[in-house]
Amino acid sequence: MSSKAFQILAMLGFVFLTGWAHARVPLETRADRGEDFVPAPAAVDAASLGFDALLADYYWLQAVQVAGSQQAVDERVARHLGRLVDVVTTLNPHVGHPYRFAAVWMTHSRAQVLEANRLLERAIAFHPDDWRNHFYLGFNHFYYLGNYPAAADALEAAMDLEGSPGYLPRLVARLKSQTGDIEVAEVFLRQMLAGTDDPQERVKYETGLDEIEIEHKARFLDRARAAYRALTGRDIERVEDLVTGPHRVIEQLPDPEPEAIPAPLRRGSVWQIEDDRIVSSYLGARYEVHYSHYGGQEGALFGEETNRPEASAPEDDVREHAEGEGA
């Protein structure tokens, strides 16, 4: 074989090899394929060669892009975000918002909440004067873990810090008296909502507040129901019995959907009796103090150190309020 023929054959061989290999190279990155690769924080820190802050920014921007590109942050994405923020805050513990960013999303399991709390404790170590980190830690203890004493301790630490809201002492008192209820959750959620500009975070808190609004209305109907029973000696058969007939106890049923929902987005929800409880078909369940749509467990979502007392029966509320609110 002449040398020229060999060269042409070799060239064809290399072209074929290149084309074959290139056609098989995945065009998506590991993250695109859902592998969510994030290196170990200590490894990135060691390899940063003094460019810690720049690498921290890089991973922070990745976290922002990951959260922003999701319709909803599910457990897998939240875990990925947690890892990214762990790298960011290891490389540059002086950052502020990323700690709270992680805490907002890492709420899908007890392990995630505990990990978020670990990051918040790191935030507190590096920003001891920032009341917001204490507040978010308190929120996690109260809302997800149901650990009221820990929540009270976290908020107590925030109380005297500059810029902290004036209502914190009252919130601490309520938590210490073990009377955490939807009012406490509402205060927490309103503060979280006021403290963020992130559209996805806002939606999350607004959803929580909408649920609380519906729970307020449902409790109002519970009280009306108790008044109906006291008046007639029997229970209602339908929720509408409260506003119709000779024994009606209220003028009209409250809106079963949140007031803020615009007309085109309304679902035509109704009040109904399910498992002997009045519920709005908008939610399909009662709010049970904590974030109910994670399965509707009563009390803390992932708690095992819960010191919360037994939830008071709706009838107890009625005895306190039935005379006041339209019943």
Residues 71-100 that bind another protein (CB under 8 A): 92, 94-98
Contact flags string 244-273 toward another protein, x per CB under 8 A: ------------------------------
Least separation in angstroms between residue 96's CB and another protein is: 7
The sign of the CA dihedral 224, 226, 227, 231 is positive
> Which amino acid belongs to residue 212?
I
Contact flags string 194-233 toward another protein, x per CB under 8 A: ---xx-----------------------------------
Least separation in angstroms between residue 230's CB and another protein is: 54
* Cα–Cα dist 174/156, whole Å: 12
* Cα–Cα dist 125/155, whole Å: 15
The reply to whether 163 sits near another protein by the rule CB under 8 A is no
**β-bridge pairing 271-274 and 277-280:** antiparallel
Task: Let me know: does 82 contact 106? Beta carbons within 8 Å.
Answer: yes
What lies within 8 Å, CB to CB, of 301 at 6+ separation is 110, 113, 143, 144, 145, 146, 290, 291, 294
DSSP secondary structure of 170-184:
HHHHHHHTT---HHH
Candidate segments 30-38, 61-69, 136-144, 154-162, binder of another protein by CB under 8 A: 61-69
Query: Of 6, 14, 16, 51, which lies in the binding site for another protein, with binding defined by CB under 8 A?
Result: 51
The reply to whether 49 sits near another protein by the rule CB under 8 A is yes
Residues 6-25 that bind another protein (CB under 8 A): none
* Cα–Cα dist 86/171, whole Å: 30
Query: Of 9, 33, 35, 65, which lies in the binding site for another protein, with binding defined by CB under 8 A?
Result: 65
Query: Which residues here bind another protein, judged by CB under 8 A?
Result: 45-46, 48-54, 56-57, 60-61, 64-65, 92, 94-98, 101, 197-198
